[in-house]
Structures are given as C-alpha cells and as structure tokens.
C-alpha cells in the first residue's frame, strides 16, 4: 500500500532540496576565500573532515543502534562502503579542492555539474548500460558550453586554468564512479548508515594523508580563516547533506536532481559578488548550454517508467 502525504509534504521536500543545493553551491566560493590565507589543499581537506566527520559518525552510531541485528550490514559490506566513501568523499573532494587553486568557482561548479553524463558513459563501459539519445544530446550541449567558456576568453585561457579544469574534470569522473559503485552498497546499508561509514573512512584517509605529508602545526591556520573553515564544514557540508537527504525522502532522487540545477546559478552569483569573478558572454553562453544540457537530461530521466519501457535505469 502506497503511503499518501499532504501536498505540504512534497512542498517541504522541494524546499529542503533547494536549500541544500544552494548551500552546496557556496562551497567553491568559501574554498577560494580560504586559499587566500595560504592554506593548501591537503590541509584544508583535513580540517574540513575534522569538523564534519564527528557529526556524521554520531548519526551513524545512532542509526546502527536502532537497527535490528539481522538488518545490520556485514563486515564485507562495511568495507565496500568505506572504499566507495574514500573514492567519492576523499579522492573526488581532493581533486576538486586542488582544481579550485587555479580555477574560478563558477567554472568549477559547471564542470562538476556534468557528472551525470559521466555516470551514463561509465555505466555503459563498465556495466553495459544503454546509451540513450537524450543523454548524448544533453552531454554534447553541456560540453559545448564548457568549450565556449574556455575558448571564448583566450586571454584567461592559460596553463593554470587548464590544469585546474583538468583536476575538476577528474573530480567529476571520480564522483561519477562513486555514484555507480555506491548504489548497491546504499541499498544494503541504508542511506544514513552508508553516509556515516563512507564519510568516516574518507575522513580517516584525509587525516592520514595529511599526517604523512605535513607537520601537525599545519592544522593551525590563521585565526580569521577558522570562521570560513567552520562555515565550509557546517554550512557547505553537514547541513546541506541532511537537507538533501530529507528532500530526497519526500520528492525522490530525480526530483532532487532537477531542483539541484539551481546550484550553478547560485555559485555564479556569489562568485561574482564576493570574489569579483568576471562574467561576460562566454560565461553566459556556457552556463545556458550546461544548464540546458543537464535540464534536458533530467527532464527525460524523470518521465514515468511506463514511458520508458524496456530501458534500464542508470546506476
């Protein structure tokens, strides 16, 4: 029997998802501001994890205690969740943070925003999932937009920008792989417990990587930087993660994906106002193409299953 909810239930879900997407959108801007204090990628990621992981671990411990013994995941599943978490929450995050050393925040967000197409591509290569026409058209439009952004302003197209874009593209690719490998593990663990295990494993890996390459004193940045680092951990990591989860519970993953198209717009606006990043015709055309490509993809992906008979959904 399908449980029915009042209209306010879905309205609240859209509000939660939109708020979460907007908070996630300020991540790049906060990182760019923090880098002005001379903090490197590995140190910043370690600080972020130090502040965020205890919250996720506490939620995971609470969820574990509430589960019946027979419903708790086995050791193998926990190990899989840890490995997937390291891929999605450590490797992808490190690549993204590193790219922001030289790439503008608005460009970073648009490159990351193309990861759904990489999920389709890797799903085809690794699992034999079908390549749908609307995904190819959407991908072509989005990547054409990125080309316009990079090529439309030759004076800004230097080696540092290309390297930064390469790092963020690699981050999008690793996050796409995370999405593919995480699905089955999430089904066995549950979303809350999986997130707790994955974040904890990624946090321990980030701290280990920091300790192997940096002195402990590097975890003591200038005092003004701490407010920004705390904001990054709380308002661009912890709070939006819970908001997005609550929104997804009400409107589904596909509805949340559509609402998340607001994210690049927020990033661009905040980057222009706070960081003074340029926004000319290449950025405008590129943004419209990327949003149009992802919007087209999302529109077709959210059609009722009855309209997509015989198609296998992406992992």
**Cα 15 off chain centre by:** 19
Question: Which pLDDT belongs to residue 170?
Answer: 97
Q: Are 203 and 52 in contact (CB under 8 A)?
A: yes
Within a domain: residue 73? Answer: yes
The conformation of residue 184, written as its DSSP 8-state character, comes to: H
Confidence category of residue 245, pLDDT binned at 50, 70, 90: confident
Confidence category of residue 3, pLDDT binned at 50, 70, 90: low
Please tell me the distance from the alpha carbon of residue 262 to that of residue 7, in angstroms, as a whole number. Answer: 22
Cα three-residue angle 36-40-42, rounded to 5 degrees: 145
Please tell me the distance from the alpha carbon of residue 243 to that of residue 234, in angstroms, as a whole number. Answer: 12
Within a domain: residue 196? Answer: yes
Structural domains in the chain (count): 1
Question: Which pLDDT belongs to residue 28?
Answer: 95
Q: What is the pLDDT of residues 189-221, one digit of tens each?
A: 888 899 899 999 999 999 999 999 999 888 888
- 168 pLDDT higher than 90: yes
Within a domain: residue 285? Answer: yes
Question: Which pLDDT belongs to residue 105?
Answer: 94
Spatial CA neighbour of 47 closest among 31, 29, 26: 31
Confidence category of residue 116, pLDDT binned at 50, 70, 90: confident
The conformation of residue 312, written as its DSSP 8-state character, comes to: P
Helix 223-233 crosses helix 41-66 at what angle (to 10 degrees)?
40
To the nearest 10°, report the CA torsion of 21, 304, 13, 121: -20
Please tell me the distance from the alpha carbon of residue 71 to that of residue 270, in angstroms, as a whole number. Answer: 44
Q: Are 31 and 44 in contact (CB under 8 A)?
A: yes
Question: Which pLDDT belongs to residue 307?
Answer: 40
HEC string of 83-114?
Answer: HHHHHHHHHHHHHHHHHCCCCCHHHHHHHHCC
Q: Residue 55 belongs to what domain range?
A: 14-308
Within a domain: residue 7? Answer: no
Within a domain: residue 137? Answer: yes
3-state helix, strand, coil in the chain (%, to 5): 80, 0, 20
Helix 239-259 crosses helix 281-301 at what angle (to 10 degrees)?
80
Within a domain: residue 1? Answer: no
Confidence category of residue 304, pLDDT binned at 50, 70, 90: low
Q: Are 110 and 290 in contact (CB under 8 A)?
A: yes
Question: Which pLDDT belongs to residue 253?
Answer: 66
User: Scanning the structure block, which residue is given the tokens 């509805």?
Assistant: 255
Confidence category of residue 303, pLDDT binned at 50, 70, 90: low
Helix (H, G, I), strand (E, B) or coil at 296: helix
State whether the Cα torsion 271-92-232-288 is positive or negative: positive
Q: Are 197 and 78 in contact (CB under 8 A)?
A: yes
Within a domain: residue 108? Answer: yes
Q: Are 238 and 55 in contact (CB under 8 A)?
A: yes
Within a domain: residue 4? Answer: no
Mean pLDDT in residue range 10-21: 88
Secondary structure (DSSP) of 42-83? HHHHHHHHHHHHHHHHHHHHHHHHHS-GGGS--HHHHHHHHH
């Amino acid at each position: 029997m399908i449980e029915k909810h009042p209209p306010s239930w879905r309205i609240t879900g859209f509000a939660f998802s939109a708020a979460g997407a907007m908070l996630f959108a300020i991540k790049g801007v906060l990182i760019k501001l923090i880098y002005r204090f001379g903090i490197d990628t590995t140190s910043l990621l370690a600080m972020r994890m130090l502040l965020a992981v205890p919250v996720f671990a506490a939620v995971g411990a609470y969820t574990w205690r509430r589960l019946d013994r027979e419903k708790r995941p086995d050791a193998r599943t926990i190990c899989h969740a840890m490995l997937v978490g390291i891929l999605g929450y450590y490797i992808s995050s490190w690549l993204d943070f590193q790219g922001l050393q030289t790439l503008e925040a608005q460009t970073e967000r648009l490159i990351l925003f193309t990861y759904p197409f990489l999920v389709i591509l890797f799903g085809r290569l690794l699992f034999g999932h079908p390549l749908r026409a609307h995904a190819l058209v959407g991908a072509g439009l989005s990547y054409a937009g990125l080309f316009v952004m990079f090529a439309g302003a030759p004076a800004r197209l230097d080696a540092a920008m290309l390297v930064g874009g390469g790092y963020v593209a690699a981050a999008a690719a690793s996050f796409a792989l995370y999405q593919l490998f995480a699905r089955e593990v999430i089904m066995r663990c549950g979303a809350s417990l999986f997130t707790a295990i994955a974040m904890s494993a990624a946090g321990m890996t980030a701290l280990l990587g920091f300790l192997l390459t940096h002195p402990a004193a590097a975890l003591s940045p200038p005092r003004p930087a701490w407010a920004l680092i705390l904001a990054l951990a709380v308002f661009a990591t912890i709070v939006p993660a819970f908001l997005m989860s609550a929104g997804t519970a009400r409107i589904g993953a596909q509805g949340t994906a559509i609402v998340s198209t607001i994210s690049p717009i927020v990033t661009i606006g905040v980057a222009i106002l706070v960081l003074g990043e340029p926004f000319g015709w290449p950025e405008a055309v590129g943004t419209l193409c990327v949003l149009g490509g992802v919007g087209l993809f999302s529109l077709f992906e959210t059609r009722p299953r009855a309209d997509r008979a015989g198609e296998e959904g992406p992992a």
